[in-house]
A = this chain, B = another copy of it.
Amino acid sequence: MNGQKGVGVVETRTVRLFDAESPLHLVRGGTLSQVDVAYETYGTLSPQGDNAVFICHALTGDAHVAGYHEGARRPGWWDNMIGPGRPLDTDRLYVICANLLGGCQGTTGPSSIDPATGHAYGLDFPLLDMGDFVTVHRALCHHLGVDTLLAAFGGSLGGMQVLEWALTHPEDMRNAVVIAASSRLSAQNIAFNAVAREAITRDPGFRDGQYEAAGTVPDHGLSIARMMAHITYLSEESMADKFGRMPQDAELAPGFGADFAVESYLRHQGETFLERFDALSYLYLTRVMDYYDPFERPGITEAAAAQGVRFLVASFTSDWRFSSTHSRRIVRHLEQARIPVSYRDIETAGGHDSFLLEIEPYHETIRAYIDNALEALR
C-alpha cells in the first residue's frame, strides 16, 4: 500500500461538545442537550495551525479512518489514503475524522440514551439536516484548536457534507474535496433508500424504534437493507469480474440457499454489518441524504464565491449510485457561481465504492491536489 507504513496503532476518543448549558440547536428545530462526538486524529497540527484536514465519512463509516485499533486485524476504512507518504501524508498533515451526529459509533444518535428519560431516544430523536452534521464537526474543530482547515474531504454522504460545509462556512476551509457525491438525490436514489427503510421498519423486531427497551433487534431488516445497498455500491462489471455465475459450493444441491458465490458474499455483508451498525441510524442518516438539495437555496453560493474556497470534484465512470451526472451538476453550479473548481471523472470499473479503493490515477489526483494546497500556503 503505497510502499509505506501506515499511522500505526490509534484509538477513538470521545468528547462532549454540547450539553444542557450549551445545547445543540438543530436546523429543523428542536435541540439536543447532550452531544458526544467520537473522533480520531493523526499527525500533528502545525504551529501555524494551517495543515489540518477533516475527513467526512460516508453513510456507514465511522471515525476510525486510518491505522489499527489495538489488536485489530483490519485498518481504518481509508487507510490506503492516509499515512506517512500516502496521498494525505500524515508527516505533513493533521488529519481529523469524526463520527456523524445521528450515527452509532460513538457520536450521539437515535440509539443513544436520552438524558431526559434515561432510555434510548428511538424515533423521538429529532430529524437531522446536513447542516447539523456541519455544526457538530465545526465544534470539534474548535475544540481541537483548528480555525481553518487546509481541506475537508468526503466521499458519498461525506462529500455531501463537505459541500454543505464549504457553502455555508467557507471561512472554515481553503479547499473542499467532494468525491462520488451528489447535491441532490435522484428519484431512484431515494427509492433505494426508501426500500431499505421499509425493510427496517417492517421488521417485527423494530418495535417502532423502541427495540432497545423491548430487547429485540430488527436484524433481518437491517441485513436486507445492507445487502440491497451493497449491490448499488458495486458496478455490474465489478460484480461480474468478482463473482460471475460461480457456484458457492459445487457439492451443494440447488435450492434457496447461497447457491451462487455472489449470494454468499451478500449474506456475509448483511451479517457483518449488524455488528457495527444500528437500524435507527440507518433511517436518520439516509433521510438527511434524501432531503439534501443546497442549490435550491437562493444565494447559497455567494459566501463561498466571496471567500474563494477551491473545490475538487471527483467521480468514477462506473458509479451508478451517484453517477458522473451528479458530480457534473455540482461542478456546473459552482462554475456558474464563479467558484474555482477542478473536476476529474476517473475511469474505473469499481462502481460507487471506488472512492475507498487504491486506484492510481485517483490517488495521484488527491496527492497532487493536496500538494498544491500545501504549496499555496508558502
Do A227 and B245 touch across chains, with their CB atoms under 8 A apart?
no
Given contacts A204-B204, A245-B184, contact A262 B191 (CB under 8 A): yes
Answer whether residue A65 sits at the interface, using C-beta atoms and an 8 A cutoff: no
A357 contacts the other chain (CB 8 A): no
**Interface residue? A188 (CB, 8 A):** yes
Asked whether A301 is an interface residue with its Cβ less than 8 Å from the other chain, the reply is no
Q: Please give me the residue from chain B that is nearest to A205 by CB atom.
A: B204
Per DSSP, chain A at the interface is helix
The distance in angstroms between the C-alpha atoms of A244 and B234, with both chains bound, is: 24
Query: Given that A194-B266, A195-B224, A245-B293 are known contacts, is A188 also in contact with B256, CB under 8 Å in the complex?
Result: no
Copies in the assembly, this chain = 2
Cross-chain contact A198 with B184 (CB below 8 angstroms): no
A60 within 8 A of B: no
Our pick among B194, B197, B201, B267 for the contact of A262 (Cβ within 8 Å) is: B194
Residues of B contacting A93 in the complex (Cβ-Cβ under 8 angstroms)? none
* 8 Å CB interface, A202-260 against B: 202-204, 220, 223-224, 227-228, 231, 234, 236, 239-240, 242-245, 254-256, 258-260
Given A198-B223, A224-B224, A190-B245 contact (CB < 8 Å): yes
Q: Which residues of B contact A293 (CB under 8 A)?
A: 245
Interface positions of A (Cβ within 8 A of B): 28, 123, 127, 184-188, 190-192, 194-195, 197-199, 201-204, 220, 223-224, 227-228, 231, 234, 236, 239-240, 242-245, 254-256, 258-260, 262-263, 266-267, 270, 283, 287, 290-291, 293, 320
